[in-house]
């Protein structure tokens, strides 16, 4: 009894000194009900790195604009979002075709996804990038070629490993605007990772997306087996950050103004989550509930079904600049 009351007093003291904010934040951070999987290993830039990349991006766009001085460029062209400043005019639905090279990596009998499963995965990404009625994107993905390679080392290759470098150097096809997808089983419960448009020039051979084969539609990676791991990773490949990039306390965040700030990844499908609400100043600056239904969060596949207009504009802005992906 005495021990219990001591514990309670200690707990109360902790709460008073740290405030209820810290306790509730910790609850949010630990709310991952699906901890057996790691959603994404795409490398997060620090806020400082993101800022530097943004400066380089804006500079490159300014350079590209200089010589031609396109007529009619000074008009409106509001795209309803974007990362501040003038946004690009986003082309219509399905006007940009992305060629896909799908590399199936196997180890013995493991990982041999069928052509039918690949077709289903293609259907899922085209549905996602086709829109859900409240948004559309210009992107259509067309399967150009499927390759099949048995290699035990590549099958379990994680991010930034020698095996990953070898796999991509051997199999990758096309140029900056071609999407190379590798299905494998990278281990550590990892669902996937991608490279950004900004990193293409520095490492063209490493460009592409790796996904856990069981994350494909009908796979075993419940609740991440409806194919939206690839949808999410393609978002990175087109230039999008996670919706929680920079958390609540940043100035740049994900460089998209219409995705509310989010302290940390959301798991499951936590309707009503508002992880930055306790930070009054930020709430005023970035009002709104966490974008748990957004493809660039960490929620279950069944929970995510949207991109914001600002994200679509941002994706087009980056992938047209760095991947020459235009109609």
Q: Cα(39)–Cα(196) distance, rounded to whole angstroms?
A: 17
Burial 37-69 (b: 16+ CB within 10 A, else e): bbbbbbeebebeebbebbeebeeebeeeeeeee
Burial 163-191 (b: 16+ CB within 10 A, else e): bbeebbeebbebeebbbbbbbbbbeeebb
For the bound state, the minimum distance from the C-beta of residue 206 to Zn ion, rounded and expressed in Å, comes to 17
Please give the residues from 116 up to 155 whose contact with Zn ion meets the rule CB under 5 A: none
Start-to-end CA distance of the chain, whole Å, equals 72
Please give the residues from 8 up to 47 whose contact with Zn ion meets the rule CB under 5 A: 40, 42
Q: Cα(64)–Cα(83) distance, rounded to whole angstroms?
A: 18
Instruction: Considering the complex, state which of residue 43 and residue 258 has its C-beta at the smaller distance from Zn ion.
Output: 43
Instruction: Considering the complex, state which of residue 79 and residue 311 has its C-beta at the smaller distance from Zn ion.
Output: 311
Q: Cα(20)–Cα(14) distance, rounded to whole angstroms?
A: 9
Read off the DSSP letter of residue 216. S
Instruction: Considering the complex, state which of residue 42 and residue 320 has its C-beta at the smaller distance from Zn ion.
Output: 42
Identified catalytic residue from 117, 214, 233, 262: 233
Which stretches of the chain are assigned E, i.e. beta strand?
96-106, 139-150, 179-184, 192-194, 209-212
- Residue nearest Zn ion (C-beta atom): 40
CA atoms lying within 13 Å on the CB side of residue 177: 16
Question: What is the size of the binding site for Zn ion (CB under 5 A)?
Answer: 2
Of 326, 276, 321, nearest in space to 83 by CA: 321
Instruction: Considering the complex, state which of residue 79 and residue 307 has its C-beta at the smaller distance from Zn ion.
Output: 307
Q: Cα(285)–Cα(127) distance, rounded to whole angstroms?
A: 33
For the bound state, the minimum distance from the C-beta of residue 192 to Zn ion, rounded and expressed in Å, comes to 8
Instruction: Considering the complex, state which of residue 79 and residue 193 has its C-beta at the smaller distance from Zn ion.
Output: 193
Active site residue 233: yes
Please give the residues from 203 up to 232 whose contact with Zn ion meets the rule CB under 5 A: none
**Does the bond joining 221 to the residue before it have cis omega, within 30 degrees of 0?**
no
Instruction: Considering the complex, state which of residue 28 and residue 211 has its C-beta at the smaller distance from Zn ion.
Output: 211
For the bound state, the minimum distance from the C-beta of residue 255 to Zn ion, rounded and expressed in Å, comes to 15
For the bound state, the minimum distance from the C-beta of residue 193 to Zn ion, rounded and expressed in Å, comes to 7
For the bound state, the minimum distance from the C-beta of residue 73 to Zn ion, rounded and expressed in Å, comes to 33
165: CB partners within 8 A, 6+ apart: 205, 206
Residue length, the chain?
A: 327
Which residues of this protein are in contact with Zn ion, per CB under 5 A? 40, 42
Catalytic positions: 233
């Amino acid at each position: 009894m005495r021990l219990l009351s001591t514990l309670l007093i200690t707990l109360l003291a902790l709460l008073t000194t740290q405030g209820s904010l810290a306790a509730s934040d910790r609850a949010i951070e630990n709310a991952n009900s699906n901890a057996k999987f790691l959603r994404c290993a795409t490398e997060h830039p620090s806020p400082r790195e993101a800022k530097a990349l943004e400066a380089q991006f804006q500079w490159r766009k300014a350079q590209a604009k200089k010589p031609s001085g396109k007529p009619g460029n000074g008009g409106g062209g509001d795209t309803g979002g974007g990362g501040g400043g003038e946004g690009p005019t986003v082309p219509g639905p399905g006007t940009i075709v992305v060629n896909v090279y799908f590399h199936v990596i196997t180890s013995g009998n493991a990982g041999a996804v069928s052509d039918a499963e690949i077709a289903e995965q293609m259907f899922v990404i085209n549905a996602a990038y086709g829109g859900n009625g409240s948004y559309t994107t210009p992107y259509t993905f067309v399967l150009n070629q499927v390759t099949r390679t048995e290699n035990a080392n590549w099958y379990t290759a994680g991010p930034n490993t020698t095996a990953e470098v070898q796999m991509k150097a051997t199999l990758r096809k096309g140029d900056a605007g071609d999407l190379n997808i590798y299905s494998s089983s990278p281990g550590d419960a990892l669902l996937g990772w991608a490279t950004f448009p900004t990193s293409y020039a520095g490492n063209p051979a490493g460009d592409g997306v790796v996904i856990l084969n069981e994350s494909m539609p009908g796979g075993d990676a419940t609740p991440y087996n409806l194919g939206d791991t690839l949808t999410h990773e393609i978002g990175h490949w087109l230039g999008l950050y996670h919706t929680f990039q920079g958390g609540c306390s940043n100035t740049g965040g994900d460089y998209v103004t219409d995705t509310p700030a989010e302290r940390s990844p959301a798991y499951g499908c936590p309707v009503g989550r508002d992880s930055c609400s306790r930070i009054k100043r930020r709430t005023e600056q970035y009002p709104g509930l966490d974008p748990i239904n957004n493809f660039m969060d960490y929620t279950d596949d069944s929970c995510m079904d949207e991109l914001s207009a600002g994200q679509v504009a941002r994706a087009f802005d980056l992938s047209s600049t760095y991947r020459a992906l235009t109609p």
